[in-house]
Every structure is written in structure tokens, then in C-alpha cells.
């Protein structure tokens, strides 16, 4: 398939969207559009201000711009079931329909689904009453993770690692009383090495496209706020071939379960887990696309034309055309940079080797300057022949960047989780 001059629409506005756009552009020099409100000056894509749940507006844009393929990666668009809507209107779209990915968009549904397919996952409970949750905690071993059921696996909001009963009771009261949550999930916190294995799938067969070593806590030595991701390295040499094969079996079980319900999952699926021994692990979450903190690291290791893979999945040729996904020998290290304050001018971006190593999450380009918003601001990734060199280049770049309230981990690959 020749992809020259074929337009692409990515529905999403995070670092993963920009990482994907850059990778596609490098392979094909396509015209690439990204939905969102970030006003960024980028040479490989154009940002269009269309709401991610405005399905009619997105369809009209796709028709007007003669979009070859649409790739929805945002939680909002998946919840709005953009895939089914576009398919009904004859559009080429690579992503899971709402019914096939709904277990990834709700915390409690994900845990129950993993338990149902007999995937090894941490002990957990789902509660709709404060007292029942407190009674469960009295029999639990701390630390535990407490999260809102409505907290999706994409956003990671309202999720904390709790070390004691007193703090757990206060957080539960905050969720049930102050935030009027209907349900919460309590699960055991698992000590070990965090990883994510990503697969691309046509709904029936799946092939791995990369493995990261993941960092969750915002601060060094696994302290501070527990996030969906504060950094990573790729490839992850700590994960054994046996463990990968066992995770692949779980993916097959997931796909078979969904296909039997006539809801085949087409897209990229991430299996997030914790390795507790050489071949032992627990699955903690399912991800409906590459995450912000590891998208570039994964994509920089893929030695394939992504549009050809995606189109093959959508049109039913994937299992015939691909027996594996070619990976190169690149090594990457990424760090997510956070801001404690809002509306801060980012200094030093002109001093780093390549601005394209930066994937923005929550920022604005105004009067020739990038402005950081409070929270996760951007992910910076460096790629080299070895992980040690990639790490060295990464922190050299980070030392050039500064703004009031900047915060990021400085121990990637020193603390291997």
C-alpha cells in the first residue's frame, strides 16, 4: 500500500498523539491533523480545534479533508463511540469500538474483566458503601491502592497509594462523601518491577510492538503522587521471554472473549503489570493505546510503516501480512515533566538538541514562548544505541530546561522499580 499524500486524522491531544503524528510523518510525509486546543507551532502536524466527542463535526472534517484513516486515541472519543459512528459512515478508522474497550475506560470494570478471564491480578474489592470499604481495609495488608471506579485507566484521576488505615479512611470519606462517588476500588499494592507490553491487533491476532520499564511515582525513590506514568525506558531487558509469552496468552484470551461477543478489539492494547520474579507477574491494568510517557520510546523502536499496519488491521489482512513487527536496536529513555504552578514560561527549549524530542501534554504556545500549565506539561525522550547513552542525553537536555515549579524524576534507570 502506498501512503504518499494520504491525509491522517488523530483524535487526541496528548503527548501520545504528537508522538504518533511525528512517527507517521517520518515514514510518509502525510498531512496529519490532531484535534485539540493546544496552540503549538509544529512542522509535522496541524492542530484543529474540534471537540473529541463532536462526532458529526469530526466526520465532516474527515470528509472535507479527504482523510485516509482516522486514529482515535482519546478517552472522550472512545467513550462517544467514534469508531462505530465512523464505520457506519464508511470511514477507515483504526481503534476499538466502545463495547470492546469499555472495560479499559472504567477502573472497576477492568478489574472484574481481568478476574473473569482468569488473568493473574492483585487482590481487589469494589465497594459502594463507605463502611463496607473500611471493613475490608481492616483485613488488608498496607499499602493499598484506592481509586474511584469512574477514574479511567487513561486519566488516572482520584487514585492514591495509601500506606496506613488512618489515611485510607480519610481518602475514602473524601471520595464517598465530598465527591459523591458511587463505587471505589481497593486493591493490593504490588512490589516489583513495573512494565507495559504493547500489542497491535486486528481483533483476532496480536503481535507485540515493544516493552517498557515503567515509573509511576512522581518523585525519586518512588515517592510523591502515584501517576499513570512519570517516565520509562525501552526496551525492558528485565522481562523474560517466558513472561512475554504468558502475557501474550492473556492478550489472546482478552481478544477471544471480546470476539465471542461480536466486539472484536481493533487497535493497540497495553498490558500493564508488575514482575514479581523472573517469570512471575501480576496484571494491574489494560491500556487502550500508548500512554503519554512512553509513546515515543515505543514508537522509536518500531521499524515498520505504521499506516500500513493500521490499514491492514482495519481491512482484515493483518494475520496474512504480518508474522511479527520488526523492531530496531534503538534504546530510549523518557521523563514526564510536571509543573506545580499554572501559566509558567518554559525557558531553555531552544538549548536542547531537538525540540521534536518534546511531546507536549498540557501547554500553550504564545508570543513565541511555550507556557506550562499545572500538572503534566510534556514528555521528553532521547534515543540512542544504548540505554545508558539515551539516559545521559536525556538529562543533559533536561538540565537546559527550567520554569517556576518544574518537577520531574531524576532517577530513571538508577531506580529500576
What CATH number should be reported for the domain whose range is 7-101? 3.40.50.20
- Whether residue 271 is predicted with pLDDT greater than 60 in this model: the reply is yes
Average of pLDDT values for 64-90?
96
Q: What are phi and psi of 275, to 5 degrees?
A: -80, 120
- Whether residue 105 is predicted with pLDDT greater than 90 in this model: the reply is no
Q: What is the pLDDT of residue 220?
A: 95
143 in Cβ contact with 217 (< 8 Å): no
- SS3 for 30? coil
Domain 123-188 has CATH 3.30.1490.20: yes
Question: Phi-psi category of 79—alpha, beta or left, where left has phi over 0 and alpha has psi -120 to 50?
Answer: alpha
Q: What angle do CA 66, 70, 76 make, to 5 degrees?
A: 130
Average of pLDDT values for 349-366?
91
45 in Cβ contact with 32 (< 8 Å): yes
- Whether residue 43 is predicted with pLDDT greater than 50 in this model: the reply is yes
Query: For the segment 223-242, what is each residue's pLDDT rounded down to a tens digit?
Result: 988 988 999 999 999 999 99
Weakest-pLDDT range from 152-156, 184-188, 345-349: 152-156
Calculate what percentage of the chain has a pLDDT beyond 70: 96
Neighbour count for residue 365 (Cβ, 10 Å): 16
Average of pLDDT values for 204-209?
97
Per the DSSP assignment, residues forming a β-bridge with 187 are 124, 145
Between CA 203 and CA 209 the distance in angstroms is 16
Q: What are phi and psi of 114, to 5 degrees?
A: -60, -40
Tell me the DSSP string of 225-288: EEEEEEEEEES-TTS-HHHHHHHHHHHHHHHHHHHHTT----EEEEEEEEE-SSS-EEEEEEES
Give the CA distances from residue 289 to residues 72, 116, 222, 273, 296, in Å, rounded to whole numbers and listed in that order: 9, 22, 25, 15, 12
**Residue in the structure block whose three cell numbers are 486514529:** 71
Residue ranges covered by each domain of the chain: 7-101, 123-188, 331-407
Between CA 417 and CA 411 the distance in angstroms is 10
- SS3 for 195? strand
Domain 331-407 has CATH 3.90.600.10: yes
Between CA 134 and CA 140 the distance in angstroms is 10
- Whether residue 415 is predicted with pLDDT greater than 80 in this model: the reply is no
- Whether residue 150 is predicted with pLDDT greater than 70 in this model: the reply is no
Query: For the segment 5-14, what is each residue's pLDDT rounded down to a tens digit?
Result: 689 999 998 9
346 in Cβ contact with 369 (< 8 Å): yes
Weakest-pLDDT range from 47-51, 155-159, 324-328, 378-382: 155-159
The predicted model scores a pTM of: 0.95
Q: What is the pLDDT of residue 4?
A: 58
Give the chain's mean pLDDT: 92
- CB within 8 Å of 132: residues ≥ 6 apart: none
- SS3 for 326? coil
Residues constituting the chain: 417
Q: What is the pLDDT of residue 153?
A: 40
Amino acid at each position: 500500500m502506498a501512503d504518499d499524500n494520504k491525509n491522517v486524522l488523530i483524535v487526541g491531544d496528548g503527548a501520545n498523539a504528537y508522538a504518533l503524528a511525528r512517527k507517521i510523518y517520518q515514514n510518509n510525509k502525510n498531512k496529519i491533523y490532531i484535534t485539540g486546543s493546544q496552540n503549538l507551532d509544529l512542522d509535522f502536524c496541524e492542530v484543529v480545534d474540534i471537540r473529541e466527542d463532536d462526532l458529526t463535526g469530526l466526520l465532516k472534517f474527515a470528509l472535507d479533508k479527504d482523510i485516509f484513516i482516522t486514529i482515535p486515541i482519546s478517552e472522550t472519543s472512545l467513550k462517544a463511540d467514534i469508531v462505530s459512528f465512523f464505520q457506519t459512515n464508511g470511514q477507515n478508522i483504526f481503534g476499538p469500538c466502545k463495547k470492546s474497550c469499555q472495560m479499559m475506560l472504567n477502573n472497576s470494570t477492568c478489574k472484574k474483566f481481568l478476574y473473569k478471564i482468569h488473568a493473574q491480578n492483585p487482590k481487589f474489592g469494589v465497594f459502594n458503601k463507605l463502611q463496607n470499604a473500611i471493613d475490608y481495609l481492616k483485613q488488608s495488608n498496607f499499602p493499598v491502592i484506592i481509586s474511584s471506579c469512574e477514574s479511567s485507566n487513561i486519566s488516572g484521576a482520584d487514585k492514591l497509594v495509601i500506606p496506613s488505615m488512618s489515611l485510607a479512611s480519610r481518602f475514602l470519606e473524601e471520595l464517598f462523601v465530598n465527591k459523591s462517588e458511587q463505587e471505589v476500588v481497593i486493591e493490593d499494592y504490588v512490589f516489583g518491577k513495573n512494565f507495559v507490553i504493547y500489542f497491535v491487533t486486528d481483533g483476532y491476532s496480536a503481535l507485540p510492538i515493544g516493552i517498557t520499564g515503567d515509573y509511576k511515582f512522581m518523585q525519586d525513590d518512588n515517592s510523591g503522587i502515584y501517576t499513570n506514568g512519570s517516565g520509562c525506558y525501552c526496551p525492558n531487558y528485565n522481562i523474560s521471554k517466558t513472561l512475554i509469552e504468558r502475557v501474550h496468552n492473556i492478550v489472546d484470551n482478552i481478544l477471544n472473549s471480546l470476539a465471542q461477543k461480536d466486539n472484536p478489539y481493533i487497535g493497540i492494547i497495553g498490558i500493564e503489570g508488575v514482575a514479581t520474579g523472573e517469570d512471575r507477574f501480576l496484571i494491574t491494568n489494560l491500556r487502550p493505546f500508548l500512554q503519554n510517557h512512553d509513546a515515543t520510546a515505543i514508537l522509536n523502536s518500531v521499524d515498520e510503516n505504521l499506516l500500513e499496519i493500521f490499514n491492514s488491521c482495519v481491512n482484515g489482512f493483518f494475520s496474512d501480512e504480518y508474522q511479527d513487527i520488526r523492531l530496531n536496536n534503538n534504546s530510549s529513555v523518557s521523563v514526564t515533566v510536571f509543573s506545580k504552578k499554572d501559566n509558567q514560561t518554559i525557558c531553555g527549549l531552544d538549548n536542547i538538541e531537538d525540540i521534536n524530542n518534546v511531546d507536549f501534554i498540557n501547554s500553550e504556545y504564545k508570543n513565541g514562548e511555550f507556557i506550562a500549565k499545572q500538572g503534566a506539561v510534556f514528555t521528553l525522550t532521547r534515543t540512542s544505541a544504548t540505554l545508558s547513552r539515551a539516559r545521559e542525553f536525556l538529562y543533559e537536555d533536561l538540565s537546559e530546561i527550567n520554569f517556576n515549579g518544574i518537577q520531574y524524576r531524576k532517577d530513571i534507570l538508577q531506580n529500576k522499580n
